[in-house]
Structure 1
Amino acid sequence: MKKNVQSYFSKLGRSFLMAVAVMSFFVLLLTLGAVLKNPHFIEAIPFLGSSWIQFIANALSESGLVVIRFMPIVFAVSIAIGMSEKGNKELAAFSAVVGYLFMITFSSLAINHFGMAIRPEVAIGENNMVSLSQTLDMRKAMQTFVLGIQTIDTGVLGGVIVGTVSAWATKKYRNKSLPMIFSFYQGKHFPPIVTGLIFMVVGLAIPFVWPYIGGGIYSVAELVTGAGVVGSFLFGFIERILIPTGLHHVWYSLAHFTPVGGTKEICGEVFTGTKAITTSALGCGNFSGDLSDITRVWLGQGATPIKVFGVPGALIGIYLAARNKPRAKVIAISAASASIFAGVTEPFEFLFMFLAPGLFVIHAALTGVSFAILDLVNASYIGGNNIIELIFNGVLQGHKSTWIPVTLVGIVMFFIYLFVFKWYIEKFNIMTPGREPEEDDSEDVLQAEVAASKLLKQKTDKNEVIELVIAFLGGKDNIKEYTNCISRLRIYVHDSSLVNKEGLKKVPDALGMSQPSDEEIHLVFGMKVSEYRNVMDQQMGE
């Protein structure tokens, strides 16, 4: 039972990634727009204030805000796809759109019919553009506008519910037979209909139920924010500890996309969750407020010193502790590149996670300390967790982002990680790369490990690698389902006894293997995981 629950939430966690990936890309465009709109830069370079450059800046900013404003439906579709089985993903996505539209429409019908709708602010701006604004009373009553409809603000949690139910309905009713008179509606037509009917009822009930759910969420938010520096430490610590299970995506999404991360008004519009708040602050050229109360539990603030500075320091420590330094060098360079430039730390963590659990706990604790220190000094950071976002969202934002303490903490973490990792590995004789017994250092093992660590183009035949993976998994018939996240190929099998675990640990080009549950296996390919996913699709006949 415990493993099934863990597997379910692991699957739920990875289903967030499609939405997060789309959001991350457009937030980068928003960042460029924010730089062009920054009044400090315009004052220094008056040319930036020209109308056509500001039009481009506004277009770039709006590209990021589109995803932020419609996060619930974006997440509903992402989760419906991620939670569905192969062959049903497109149908589940369509069902999610139908379900979400029914939910907001019938919630609107209910608040209108029962006299619960609160009057919004209506304004006619330049060029006769009409705008409907959410008032403070609407916020308190959890009412907002979605696609021009005044409805209950269920936020991303509403999208998560819609996506989960849509995936369930698709699986249950995809092959449902109906009486002859209704036969046209069976098969692929039925799941969207069922989803629509479900959220017709849910939509009518939400105005009466959601205020209590929302109250519970706000209570959790008050608990987290009320814990002060200790709460910040626990947020960062738990996020890292959950890495082996893949559940860390669910954990940080709680702060990123729900009231747990706070609620704040930015340039006349109310935003919920640290991701939406920091993104809107980037997009608002006139914003100069203090976001330290929001970013204290934001992944970007606490993780940047670790991913940009700490992890490279640890990898230097691993290199210095190695006996075979050429082997350790290529692995250290590749893992450091993934962490610094993409904010992906799994290739680094899988190097020692299972060899030295105590060292992994130290790594998680240092992450928590990073969050706590930045909270203690009231850092107000709107950058991301890689060096590119540190520069564009931190350094180039000037008055908006206190990036200096983030950098200073990072420099300190660099040296702490370097000395702690080197000391721990040597003290307890941890078999990190380059420290294996000499008798195991055959030329074949060395070349395979070197090839596995590189992020650059290499000679490894991906078709041969995937053939090995499929064979070690017990053949195609034993593979129930598979997908990928940022760095891992995640496979579910029917019979775990048919899996050759030792073989999977030695797959060329793989950086590590993890097994969160009997039926779930993770193979870490780092930044090349999408390439291997494509090859696996071809070989599995997808």
Structure 2
Amino acid sequence: MFNFLQRIGKSLMFPIATLPAAALLLRFGQEDLLGIPFLSAAGAGIIDNLGIIFAIGIAFGLAHDSNGGAALAGAIAYLVLTSAIVTINESINMGVFAGILSGIVGGLLYNKYYNVKFPTWLAFFGGRRFVPIVTAATMTVLAGILGYAWPPVQEGIDTAGNWILNAGMFGVGAYGFLNRLLLPTGLHHVINTVVWFDFGTFTDANGDVIRGEINRFLKGDPTAGPFLSGFFPIMMFGLPAACLAMYATAKKERKAVVGGLLFSIAFTSFLTGITEPIEFSFMFLSPVLYVVHALLTGVAMMVAFALDIRHGFGFSAGAIDYVLNFGLAENPLMLLVVGAFTGVIYFAIFYLLIIKLDLKTPGREDEDEDEEGMAAGSTAHGTDETDVKAYQTIAALGGTDNIVAVDYCTTRLRLTVKDADRVNEKELKRSGARGLMKVNKTNVQVVIGTAVEFLADAMKQRIASGNPPLDQAIDFNAATSAEEQPIAKEILPEDFVMPIEGEIIPLSEVPDEVFAQGMMGPGFAVVPTGNTVHSPIDGKVVSIFPTKHAIGLITDTGVEVLIHFGLDTVHLKGQGFDLLVEDGQLVQRGDALLRVDIGYVRANAPSIITPIIFTNLTDQKLDVLKTGNQRQGTTSIIKIQ
């Protein structure tokens, strides 16, 4: 049941994502702004039809393959239900619940019957074409049942809603607390949907009955807004102040690394009201802070209610919605005063608790847990960062054989896996993830940020193709056509020379798991003592990273070689490196490729250990023939056959 509710919560994000468009159109068209009824009518077209939008969005979200056939089934389910049920009791108006139920039925029936097969003479109606048929039949039966069963259910919901709406400060405070407390599980979407789209009623000028806190606020209900107002101080001021406290308490040497991250997620929260990147940055590292955050959210809701502040949003309580709906609000300027006090309280409490309890917030992790700085370096090995992250995330999740399904919501991946114990949280954070939640043995959530959709799509493509080696992300082949590459990939001992003076060490000793575990491919590493990297092969330069810290080569026998100077050197942004070749240039063994300021790199990067990786070896065997200190130009270093 918990897993099912999580899937519903995830699916609710599809229809909820339409609300910003509706709110913008509705507000800009009203008289206090542009005064264009055409725009208001366009926005109302969404708000007034949320039922069928929920039916389509939820069915689509529940479909195992996100196929449009499921969306059609959801729409048919809604139309059948709402048209048939009123013939039994014309006073029934299920509102958004009709959409939620229709979406669930449509999505589940799609998953069950999308591949059903019939005899040849009925084959046309098989597969996905059968889904709308069985959906219509099912909803006809449900409409008959709900025609008699729904009135008492709705009466119970209305009673509960009225109790909460009339519970004053206690009601809004409890809702604010539960809203944040349930966020780690994703179930906050479920209670939000009930409060936002069903609680309370309002009859507009046209005689239409409007339900739900958001809908009523946007349509001008003077009583709507108490369950929305208190979120503005938290999202615009409180959580950004928490980021400032985490920055102030970070280790001195880590401030530069975490500062950019914390500023980015703080500004996102302030502007848009998207807070999950902040909350997941301390949720599991310091649960006590999260409980405090949930309590403070409840308090902010109660204070806003006590001050008779009424404000609302179409999507989330950020600065955009604050400004957009300012004209509809009551006492909106007081929210800024409350927000300022909230920011001070958040900073003070977070700062004191982090220091006194030595909480491991970002920038305060122990050295063996300090993954954030290496995450960017690990994801910068390829020219397509999203593809590289997808590869690393799949590997950290236990590989393609451990991943059953990939889905996502606003900021997090929602995954079904065979065994959650195979998921490596440390590796996920190295690849850029901000948090991991293991819901149970087969369900995990990974917090990524607002770019989660692109990562999920890249992961699905890689999983479908078996998650091919990461060298495809570097795209050596784009610079060298198939006709130019001989079939046999080999390097004889005399054809490969030591690229830089230093000590040869096994790849497994490199303090970067992406290299050490061979995710990029086999190879060896050098602890350099020289300051110039030379070409170890006869071939061609096919990839030069913008930050100059890594160069890709290809031999005339088709072997791809990546020389990655130092670890996490991508953050140096090219400083300390003097490039001596150009992309596409032909090179011979011993040609100088890169001159390095060893002292600068050693002082500003985690390590100067330089991996030498062979990125496209499949059936070939790599033998490292020498270890220890070797001079640049020494032959018989490796053999590939």
Alpha-carbon separation, structure 1, partners of 2:369 and 2:397: 25
- Provide the alpha-carbon RMSD of the alignment: 2.4
Residue correspondence of structure 1 range 86-485 to structure 2 within 5 A? 86=65, 89-108=67-86, 110-111=87-88, 117=90, 141=91, 152-178=92-118, 182-258=122-198, 260=199, 262-268=200-206, 269-281=208-220, 290-291=222-223, 294-298=224-228, 301-324=229-252, 325-383=255-313, 384-394=316-326, 397=327, 400-437=329-366, 446-448=373-375, 461-485=385-409
Alpha-carbon separation, structure 2, partners of 1:435 and 1:477: 35
Deviations 1:28-81 (A, max 9, x none): 2322223xx11xx6xxxxxx6xxxxx4xx2222122211111111100111111
**Which ranges of structure 2 fall in alignment gaps of 5 or more residues?**
466-641
Note the C-alpha offset of 1:439.
6.8
The aligned residue for residue 444 of structure 2 is: 521
Alpha-carbon separation, structure 2, partners of 1:438 and 1:487: 27
Alpha-carbon separation, structure 1, partners of 2:76 and 2:369: 57
Alpha-carbon separation, structure 2, partners of 1:253 and 1:179: 43
For the structure 1 residues 25 and 517, does the alpha-carbon distance in structure 2 shift closer, same or farther, using more than 3 Å as the test?
A: farther
Alpha-carbon separation, structure 1, partners of 2:368 and 2:350: 25
What letter matches 1:25 in structure 2? A
The aligned residue for residue 571 of structure 2 is: none
Would you say the 8 A contact 2:25–2:40 is kept in 1? yes
Would you say the 8 A contact 1:31–1:393 is kept in 2? yes
| 2:3 corresponds to 1:14 | no
Three-state SS of the structure 1 residue aligned to 2:437 is strand
| 2:434 corresponds to 1:511 | yes
Alpha-carbon separation, structure 2, partners of 1:82 and 1:7: 14
Q: Percent identity?
A: 30
Larger Rg belongs to: 2
| 2:417 corresponds to 1:488 | no
Note the C-alpha offset of 1:177.
3.9
For the structure 1 residues 450 and 367, does the alpha-carbon distance in structure 2 shift closer, same or farther, using more than 3 Å as the test?
A: farther
Three-state SS of the structure 2 residue aligned to 1:401 is coil
Alpha-carbon separation, structure 2, partners of 1:482 and 1:357: 27
What letter matches 1:154 in structure 2? M
Would you say the 8 A contact 2:308–2:331 is kept in 1? no
Three-state SS of the structure 2 residue aligned to 1:514 is strand
Query: 58-67 or 232-241, which moves further after superposition?
Result: 58-67
For the structure 1 residues 240 and 451, does the alpha-carbon distance in structure 2 shift closer, same or farther, using more than 3 Å as the test?
A: farther
Would you say the 8 A contact 1:65–1:279 is kept in 2? no
Deviations 1:464-489 (A, max 9, x none): 11111112222223321112211112
Would you say the 8 A contact 2:420–2:440 is kept in 1? no
Alpha-carbon separation, structure 2, partners of 1:170 and 1:65: 30
The aligned residue for residue 628 of structure 2 is: none
Note the C-alpha offset of 1:345.
1.0
Note the C-alpha offset of 1:451.
9.3
1 or 2 for the larger relative contact order (CA 8 Å, sep ≥6)? 1
For the structure 1 residues 501 and 350, does the alpha-carbon distance in structure 2 shift closer, same or farther, using more than 3 Å as the test?
A: same
Aligned length: 459
Three-state SS of the structure 2 residue aligned to 1:522 is strand
More helix by share: 1
Would you say the 8 A contact 2:420–2:438 is kept in 1? no
Alpha-carbon separation, structure 2, partners of 1:406 and 1:432: 29
Note the C-alpha offset of 1:351.
1.5
Query: 186-195 or 11-20, which moves further after superposition?
Result: 186-195
Note the C-alpha offset of 1:498.
3.5
Deviations 1:110-133 (A, max 9, x none): 24xxxx65xxxxxxxxxxxxxxxx
Alpha-carbon separation, structure 1, partners of 2:125 and 2:369: 62
For the structure 1 residues 174 and 65, does the alpha-carbon distance in structure 2 shift closer, same or farther, using more than 3 Å as the test?
A: same
Alpha-carbon separation, structure 2, partners of 1:266 and 1:198: 34
TM-score, normalised to structure 2, is 0.68
Note the C-alpha offset of 1:12.
0.6
Note the C-alpha offset of 1:528.
1.6
**Which ranges of structure 1 fall in alignment gaps of 5 or more residues?**
42-47, 49-53, 118-140, 142-151, 282-288
What letter matches 1:403 in structure 2? P
For the structure 1 residues 460 and 427, does the alpha-carbon distance in structure 2 shift closer, same or farther, using more than 3 Å as the test?
A: farther
Would you say the 8 A contact 1:318–1:328 is kept in 2? no
TM-score, normalised to structure 1, is 0.80
Three-state SS of the structure 2 residue aligned to 1:154 is coil
Would you say the 8 A contact 2:375–2:429 is kept in 1? no
Alpha-carbon separation, structure 2, partners of 1:445 and 1:254: 38
Note the C-alpha offset of 1:405.
2.2
What letter matches 1:502 in structure 2? K
Alpha-carbon separation, structure 2, partners of 1:400 and 1:502: 45
What letter matches 1:305 in structure 2? P
Note the C-alpha offset of 1:353.
0.9
Three-state SS of the structure 1 residue aligned to 2:416 is strand
Would you say the 8 A contact 1:331–1:450 is kept in 2? no
Alpha-carbon separation, structure 2, partners of 1:275 and 1:78: 19
Deviations 1:152-202 (A, max 9, x none): 311111111111111121122223344565443222222211110111222
What letter matches 2:71 in structure 1? A
